[in-house]
């Protein structure tokens, strides 16, 4: 039962990254791919029907952790308190920027909110990548399963760990590049004209950056936590997930070259799902690794009672079906590309 809920939590988080990841990437790139007001409104029209619904997956992931692994969630919220506050403020600023930019028809007003939207959309993937880096590196859990981290590491080999250090910044940069590439492919699929052309160009130069950062991050992870790669070799699910992300990465490259924008975007989604799936399968059963691996919080020592897990399992499939139906309906209703002419008359 604990293993099943671990898989559910990992799946929910991975879907969140794929779904909210494309509008993070679109936001991070929009100041470059959209240079006129009508083009920036075109980008917002492309992500507008989806972005707020995508964030529900983050709430769903928190709900799964609250139900199934409350001790791990409590420790994570406490230890990453400052980083979580930064994430919440950036999510708020991003939503405000989308809603407020067209309330006043002044160029300076719109430029301010466009900059806010771009900055928040850039920092969020960076922070989420940093969080993943902390989970790969480990945190200073005490004997009771609690920890506290400063924002910055001490810089000394024997000093205190921090949320931000060389390794976690590397994982953050990789996450930013991967989601910017994902967002560029989404805009190439959902827009037309100059925005589509610039988005395709952005995906082209981001692809090798993602590849290089993935290789460097993988090598750094192997040096920092070699036990993860030993576990990877023994887990068939990790191999299947790795095959998915390799196939997805290759598909996104080939499809983009052939001008098949939807296939390229779906390939990027498969890449992200496979990468996160392989990571989760390798980490299992660990939820929060400790710097001393013997003190890690796992799916087995932080799980709720079997009765609670069983009760949740009766309702979770219904919630998943409703979420899938919602996504299908929204994408069906808002199929097609967004052009500048479609938004020129909006305020």
> CA 57 from chain center: how many Å?
11
Are 120 and 87 within 8 A, CB to CB? Answer: no
Rounded CA gap, 4 and 208, in Å? 36
Share of residues in the chain with pLDDT > 90 (%): 76
- 68 closest CA partner among 312, 262, 297: 312
Whether 268 is covered by a domain: the verdict is no
- Asked whether residue 344 carries a pLDDT value surpassing 50, the answer given is no
pLDDT, position 305: 92
In a domain, 117, yes or no: yes
The pLDDT of residue 154 is 62
Do residues 84 and 77 make contact, with C-beta atoms less than 8 angstroms apart?
A: yes
Q: Average pLDDT, stretch 310-338? A: 91
Give dist(CA 35, CA 42) in Å, integer: 11
> Packing angle between helix 37-47 and helix 2-33, nearest 10 degrees?
160
| Structural domain count of the chain | 1
HSE, CB side, 13 Å, CA atoms: give it for residue 80. 24
Report the C-alpha gap between 154 and 11 in whole angstroms.
Answer: 34
> What is the DSSP-derived secondary structure letter of residue 191?
B
The conformation of residue 105, written as its DSSP 8-state character, comes to -
Residue 279 maps to a domain = no
φ, ψ for residue 288, nearest 5 deg: -130, 105
pLDDT of residue 341: 53
Q: Report if residue 263 sits inside a domain.
A: no
In a domain, 64, yes or no: yes
Res 206 pLDDT > 80: yes
User: Any idea how long the chain is?
Assistant: 347
DSSP 57-99: HHHHHHHHHHHH-HHHHHHHHHHTHHHHHHHHHHHHHHHHHHH
User: Using alpha carbons only, what angle is made at residue 300 by residues 153 and 279, rounded to the nearest 5 degrees?
Assistant: 55
Residue 95: count of CB within 10 angstroms of its CB: 15
Query: pTM here?
Result: 0.93
345 or 149, greater pLDDT? 149
**251 in any annotated domain:** no
Domain-located, residue 269 = no
CA-based radius of gyration for the chain:
20
Q: Please give the mean pLDDT across all residues of the chain.
A: 91
Q: What is the pLDDT of residues 223-274, one digit of tens each?
A: 998 988 888 888 999 999 999 999 999 999 999 999 999 999 999 999 999 9
Q: Is 33 helix (H, G, I), strand (E, B) or coil?
A: helix
Q: Which domain holds residue 231?
A: 17-147+159-235+284-342
Residue 334: inside a domain, yes or no? Answer: yes
Residues whose CB falls within 8 Å of the CB of residue 146, separated by 6 or more in sequence, listed in order? 75, 78, 79
């Amino acid at each position: 039962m604990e293993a099943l809920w671990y898989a559910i939590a990992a799946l929910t988080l991975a879907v969140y990254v794929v779904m909210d990841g494309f509008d993070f990437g679109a936001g991070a790139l929009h100041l470059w791919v959209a240079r006129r007001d009508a083009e920036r409104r075109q980008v917002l029209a492309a992500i507008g029907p989806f972005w707020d619904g995508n964030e529900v997956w983050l709430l769903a992931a928190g709900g799964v952790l609250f139900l199934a692994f409350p001790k791990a969630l409590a420790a994570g919220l406490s230890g990453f308190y400052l980083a979580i506050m930064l994430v919440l403020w950036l999510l708020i600023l991003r939503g405000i920027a989308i809603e407020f930019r067209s309330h006043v028809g002044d160029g300076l007003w719109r430029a301010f909110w466009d900059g806010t939207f771009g900055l928040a959309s850039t920092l969020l993937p960076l922070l989420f990548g940093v969080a993943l880096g902390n989970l790969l590196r480990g945190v200073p859990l005490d004997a009771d399963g609690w920890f506290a981290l400063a924002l910055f590491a001490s810089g000394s080999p024997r000093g205190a760990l921090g949320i931000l250090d060389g390794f976690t910044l590397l994982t953050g940069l990789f996450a930013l590049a991967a989601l910017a590439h994902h967002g560029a492919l989404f805009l190439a699929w959902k827009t037309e004209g100059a925005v589509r052309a610039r988005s395709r160009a952005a995906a082209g130069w981001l692809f090798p950056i993602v590849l290089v950062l993935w290789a460097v991050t993988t090598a750094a992870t192997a040096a920092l936590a070699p036990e993860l790669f030993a576990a990877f070799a023994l887990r068939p699910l990790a191999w299947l997930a790795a095959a998915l992300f390799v196939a997805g990465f290759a598909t996104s490259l080939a499809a983009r070259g052939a001008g098949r924008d939807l296939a390229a975007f779906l390939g990027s989604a498969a890449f992200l799902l496979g990468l996160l799936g392989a990571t989760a399968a390798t980490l299992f059963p660990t939820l929060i690794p400790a710097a001393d691996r013997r003190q890690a919080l796992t799916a087995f020592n932080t799980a709720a009672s079997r009765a609670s897990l069983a009760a949740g399992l009766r309702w979770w499939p219904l919630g998943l079906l409703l979420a899938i139906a919602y996504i299908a309906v929204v994408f069906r209703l808002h199929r097609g590309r967004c052009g500048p002419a479609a938004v020129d008359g909006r305020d």
